[in-house]
Amino acid sequence: MTSRLALKNISKRYPAVVANDGVDLTVQPGEIHAVLGENGAGKSTLMKIIYGVTAPDSGQVFWDGQEIHVSSPAAARQLGIGMVFQHFSLFDTLTVTENIALGLPQGTRLDELERRIADTANEYGLDLEPSRHVHTLSVGECQRVEIVRALLGRPRLLILDEPTSVLTPQAVGKLFDTLRQLASEGCSILYISHKLDEIRALCHTCTVMRGGKVTGVCKPGEQTEASLSRLMIGAEPPVVTHRPAPPREKLLSVHQLSLGKAHPFATELSNISFDVHAGEILGIAGVSGNGQQELLAVLSGEDTRADPNAVWFDGQAVGRRSAAWRRARGMAFVPEERLGRGAVPELSLAQNILLSHQDNSTIRRGFIRKGEISRLAGEIIERFGVKAAGPQAQAGSLSGGNLQKYIIGREVTRRPKALLVAQPTWGVDVGAAAQIRSELLALRDAGCALLIISEELDELFQVSDRLIVIAKGRVSPAIKTAEADLDLIGQWMSGLWAGSAATESAHV
């Protein structure tokens, strides 16, 4: 059988690193093929080469047995290659149909397109209303728009980059049904994920990469999670141990917080109350878009519209205090968006230290102590195993997972009194995820109050002492993690908990 796609000896070098080093990859028609590898292994670079975003330095690409040169994403789509990126590119104020029309030739009739979208969505069991505005859609629905957009081009190869990181377990099941149907019709699928259980459940073949090279090709169904992990990182992920600790004093409290929308697409917060104690991790579960961002903005001081008494930190009412004021008193914050908010992409890793470490050790008499910030950056790179050229590397040149490790490292090394983290291990490989969770637990044991917002329930169950759920801008009562189970939390995620005023279901 002629393979659909064959890469031979592909190499791509960046100034500081060989991202792809003589990579071979073969994908058959109708095959669901996983690409697995630790952070910085070169997976995204390889996908960008296939999709025409990046040109390889050397090597050959064969499509249906013919050698090709993919010069741009448009050329890739012409060949029948579709890609769904991790970050969506949709305009909130336009409808689904209008968004999809943007990528099509001018003069495309919207009514015809709307029909085609509805037909394609139906054909693959993707629930979608073409006339809805994107700002009214949940994250899962936005992803369906991106998938339908790719499917309209009738792709013969579909590339998906970590597609499940933002989905509920139910939405993951639906996505898998769609992908299996596509594969049964002959479409090949390249599937990038760090989730070993998903790869085992879905994929026929798996190519494993490490340090830019292919280290193995296997059938994931015949592997265990431990053996896949060994292929990928050379070891099984370290075990994260969570020891119960006695309750201590309240460090961070939210008291009857209600807040209107800061912009039309925001979620209103309604009567939120909870406490986080020193030496405790409080996990907040929920599907994104249910008020997590708004709550974090209030807690971190980015949004100071709240009643002063709605937020208490270390014995003071801080609702109106700025982010800088809170940071100076020991609050730390890791936002969900790494580039742009967690780090400035154009600045070096050393310069990015200054986003949160602003004290005598880094700035003296108005001057930046360059040696000190470089030393600190070097220490974080070393301790967290960040793959980077060094403290002077631009933040934007790091792979997604490596930048995440760096940002977490930067905040953990401040030894904060309270740490607010959104999606701590998003896009991070299994080894690094275990390391990050252990560091967060060590911080807890040292007396820090941690608030962790995550869509990964397994993660929350692993590290949290207590859990609450956020749905439609309201929070559930807190429950001890030891007394909670997945079914209950899943039910709460729909906005249904005893005494909840929610009559509509949450954004799932």
Using CB under 6 A, list all residues that contact ligand ATP: 14, 17, 19, 37, 39-45, 387, 397-402, 427
Is the Cβ of residue 124 or residue 191 nearer to ligand ATP in the bound state?
191
Q: What is the smallest separation between the CB atom of 167 and ligand ATP, expressed in angstroms?
A: 18
Cα–Cα nearest to 193, from 185, 202, 184, 182: 202
User: Contact 269/292 with Cβ under 8 angstroms?
Assistant: no
| Residue 131: CB minimum distance to ligand ATP, A | 35
CA dist 466 and 449 (Å) reads: 12
Answer yes or no: are the C-beta atoms of 427 and 401 closer than 8 Å: yes
Which is nearer to ligand ATP, 33 or 414 (by Cβ)? 33
Please, what is the minimum distance in Å from the beta carbon of residue 419 to ligand ATP? 22
Residue identified by tokens 């709240």 is 306
Residue closer to ligand ATP by CB (options 85, 325) is 85
- Work out the end-to-end distance of the chain between its first and last CA atoms, rounded to an integer number of angstroms: 42
Cβ-based nearer residue to ligand ATP, 36 or 266: 36
Is the Cβ of residue 76 or residue 393 nearer to ligand ATP in the bound state? 393
Strands 250-259 and 269-277: antiparallel
**Which ranges constitute the DSSP H helices of 398-466?**
400-412, 430-445, 457-463
Residue 382, both tokens: 């070393």
State the nearest-atom distance from the C-beta of 72 to ligand ATP, in Å.
17
- Name the residue whose CB lies closest to ligand ATP: 401
Q: What region, left, alpha or beta, does residue 65 occupy, with left being phi > 0 and alpha being psi -120 to 50 degrees?
A: left
- Least Å distance, CB 381 to ligand ATP, is 12
The dihedral built from the CA positions of residue 268, 448, 465 and 308, taken in this order, carries a sign that is negative
Token reading at 288:
């994104």
| Closer residue to ligand ATP, CB minimum distance, 20 or 293 | 20
The least distance separating ligand ATP from the CB of residue 37, rounded to whole angstroms, comes to 5
Q: Which is nearer to ligand ATP, 76 or 259 (CB)?
A: 76
Tell me how far apart the alpha carbons of residues 114 and 121 are, in angstroms, rounded to a whole number: 11
Please report, for residues 32, 161, 469, the alpha-carbon distance to residue 87 in angstroms, rounded to integers and kept in the order given: 22, 9, 25
Cβ neighbours of 1 (radius 10 Å): 6
Which stretches within 61-186 are classed as H helix? 73-79, 96-102, 110-123, 139-152, 169-184
Q: Rank residues 40 and 286 by Cβ distance to ligand ATP and give the closer one.
A: 40
Q: How far is the CB of 180 from ligand ATP (least distance, A)?
A: 25
Closer of 162 and 294 to ligand ATP (Cβ) = 162
Residue written as tokens 């899943």? 490
| Residue closer to ligand ATP, measured from CB, 45 or 120 | 45
Least distance from ligand ATP to the Cβ atom of residue 199, Å: 14
Strand, helix or coil at 69? coil
* Distance, CA of 436 to CA of 414 (rounded, Å): 15
Rg of the chain (C-alpha set): 23
- Closest distance to ligand ATP from the beta carbon of 356 (Å): 22
DSSP-assigned states of every residue in 185-228:
TT-EEEEE-S-HHHHHHH-SEEEEEETTEEEEEE-GGGS-HHHH
CB 20 → ligand ATP: shortest distance, Å? Answer: 8
Q: Which is nearer to ligand ATP, 162 or 465 (CB)?
A: 162
One-letter identity of residue 57? D
**How many whole angstroms separate alpha carbon 140 and alpha carbon 178?**
14
Minimum CB distance to ligand ATP, residue 497 (Å): 36
